[in-house]
Amino acid sequence: MERYARLARQGANNPSSAHGGGLEAARLVQEARQSIARSLDCLPQEVYFTSGGTESINLALKGAAYAGSSLPKRALTSAGEHDAVDASLSFLEEYLDYQLVRVALQADGRMDLAQLSQALEEEPAGLVSFLAVSNETGAINPLEQVVSLVREKAPRALIHSDIVQACGKLPFSFRRTGLDMVSVAGHKIRAPKGTGLLIKAERVKLQPLFHGGRQESGLRSGTVDMPGAQALALALSLHTENLQDHYRKTLAARNFFLDCLARHPLVFHTISSAESSPYVLSIAFPGLRGETLMNALSAEEIFISTGSACGSRKAGDNRVLSAMGLEREIILSAVRISFHPDLDHDAIRHLADRIAWLHGRYAVS
């Protein structure tokens, strides 16, 4: 953020301008693009700057559908996708006559690969999109295994993955996964809000959603946010360099929280599996509504949620947890807690103590 603020103060030079200030801004954008390519193991020309994960997802899926007239109009996704993927594919279903198939989730929150295989065998697919890591539960889908399965059974399909919760937190190589497109949100790795990426293989053709200045090789018109691009590149580089240390500390923080909870006389149900990403914990406290707990903690400036930020305002409704086959009581009492490597034990212990106290006060038996 310090780098972002410093660059933002240098002036509003447009990277598309031909004057000296514009050329310097363009150089800094290209420098950021090259740094990102190194961090994600892709080519610089495969990196496109966007305003965040939602735009990147829309550009990938709608852009592929509009450009791919020869692709089968059948899209496969999981029942546990981020709202941006689910809504984008629903748009294709409604307006472009796509057939949309939502593959079931297993009890651990991962996509059911047996059902995916069956769906791929039934009819040709043109688009496949699935989460790398669930934004609701932290469940980790096996990227390379899924890509291999799709390539075997639907070799013409374009494969997209939302890696927002994986980027900078789990090992990732665009080249090694064999994916066609991935979407990234900057704020998940402490870059400024409103920054994001679409990584797209060179051979993949997309139709732009924005038209005007033909920035980003004509794929994403609009003045490129040079300070945001630089800040995102730096954040990604720092997270990639410290990935193992951050993971270890975050896992320790999550486990310490669960240990602290276990010392209290309250019943809780850990929805996230032990193999899920430690950065996201879905947990339920039967008898205490999730929104009641969220609001009570919010009054103390402790911020948890009842689900992902894009869908958490729908009280008592969580389609991802429903798709996992959880009972209504568990879904109503579920909350999502995000962890990061800088949390100290006192803060974690305080959270567990407050949850236990609030459960004792508000829980209905």
**Residue among 149, 152, 127, 111 nearest 65 (CA):** 127
Give the C-alpha separation, 289 to 91, whole Å: 33
Active-site hit among 42, 167, 260, 310: 310
Give the C-alpha separation, 313 to 323, whole Å: 18
Handedness of CA 276, 278, 284, 290 (dihedral sign): negative
**Residue among 202, 220, 280 nearest 229 (CA):** 220
Give the C-alpha separation, 72 to 5, whole Å: 46
**Residue among 349, 62, 110 nearest 206 (CA):** 62
- DSSP-derived secondary structure letter, 305: B
List, in sequence order, the alpha helices (H) in 263-365: 290-298, 319-323, 328-332, 345-362
**Is 310 an active-site residue?**
yes
Contact 79, 323 (CB under 8 A): yes
Cα 157 vs. chain centroid, distance in angstroms?
22
Radius of gyration of the CA atoms of the chain, in A: 21
> 336 forms bridges with which residues in the sheet?
282, 305
Amino acid of residue 299: A
Residues with a known catalytic role: 310
